[in-house]
Homo-oligomer: A and B are copies of this chain.
Amino acid sequence: MTQSPSNTASMYKMIGNHTFDQFINIATQFHNYPAPGLLIGGYMVEEAKLHIPEGTLYEALSETSWCLPDAIQMLTPCTIGNGWLRIMHFGLFALSLYDKYTGKGVRVWLDLDKIPQASEIMTWLLKRKPKGDQDSDRLRKEIGMFGSDIMSVRTITLQDELLTKRRKGIIARCPVCGEAYPSKHGPICRSCQGESPYVQASSQKASAAFPR
């Protein structure tokens, strides 16, 4: 492991079947920019996949909402919309893949003890400098050269209560907004219960609907 990465593309480690440059391209397409956390996340996801037996139906858990969920969505069948990806807001750069029935799998995390102290990765991870002062070119090169060398892996078992399949339950029509909602939320939907994210939701509804 060196702290002075060269420009040679072949010095960059593969992310699964993708070259580092290929992954940068698909990361840019999906995430809109090749964020360092997403590039590192690519190596993390592929590292985790190595430890999951072929043919296992697995789900994923990201311990941060930053970047990592997108690496999971790009490189596994697990997405936030199909319910196979769960996000916990710990702000930890760690993820796990686990058998959806047994909960057994692996956790991969960025290991502070494996990241060279003087590296730009350490500066980025610990935010030792404002983003504008970080050397993004050097950071990217280090990510491609170190690959999974800066991670650790251990086996995990998910807690039983997290293995239950999500269910919508009975669907009703909210008597306030008139939309379909899970009746287990109460007599009216959560948005009408006061959780609406919009300003003056109810008065706007009538006045500003677009004619069709």
Number of this chain's copies in the assembly equals: 2
User: Does A71 have its Cβ within 8 Å of any Cβ on chain B?
Assistant: yes
User: Does A157 have its Cβ within 8 Å of any Cβ on chain B?
Assistant: yes
The digit string for A51-86, where 1 denotes a CB below 8 A from any CB of B, is 100000000010101111111010001011111101
Q: With A79-B73, A110-B179 given, is the CB distance from A159 to B198 under 8 Å?
A: yes
Complex CA gap A65/B170 in Å reads 16
A71, A91, A155, A181: most-surrounded residue (chain B CB, <10 A): A91
List of B residues within 8 angstroms of A68 by Cβ: 81
Query: How many residues from A make CB contacts under 8 Å with B?
Result: 82
Complex CA gap A119/B81 in Å reads 24
Q: Please tell me which one of the listed residues B89, B93, B154, B170 contacts residue A179 in the complex, with CB atoms under 8 A apart.
A: B93
Q: Please tell me which one of the listed residues B67, B173, B195, B199 contacts residue A90 in the complex, with CB atoms under 8 A apart.
A: B195
Which residues in A have some Cβ–Cβ distance to B below 8 Å?
A: 30-33, 35, 38, 41, 51, 61, 63, 65-71, 73, 77, 79-84, 86-94, 96, 103, 106-107, 109-113, 125-127, 149, 152-159, 162, 166, 168, 170-171, 173, 178-182, 185, 189-191, 195, 197-201, 204-205, 208-210, 212
Q: Contacts A112-B179, A158-B197 known; list 17 others, CB within 8 Å.
A: A30-B73, A65-B81, A65-B83, A67-B81, A69-B80, A70-B80, A73-B79, A80-B80, A92-B180, A92-B189, A107-B198, A110-B179, A112-B180, A149-B212, A154-B210, A156-B201, A157-B198
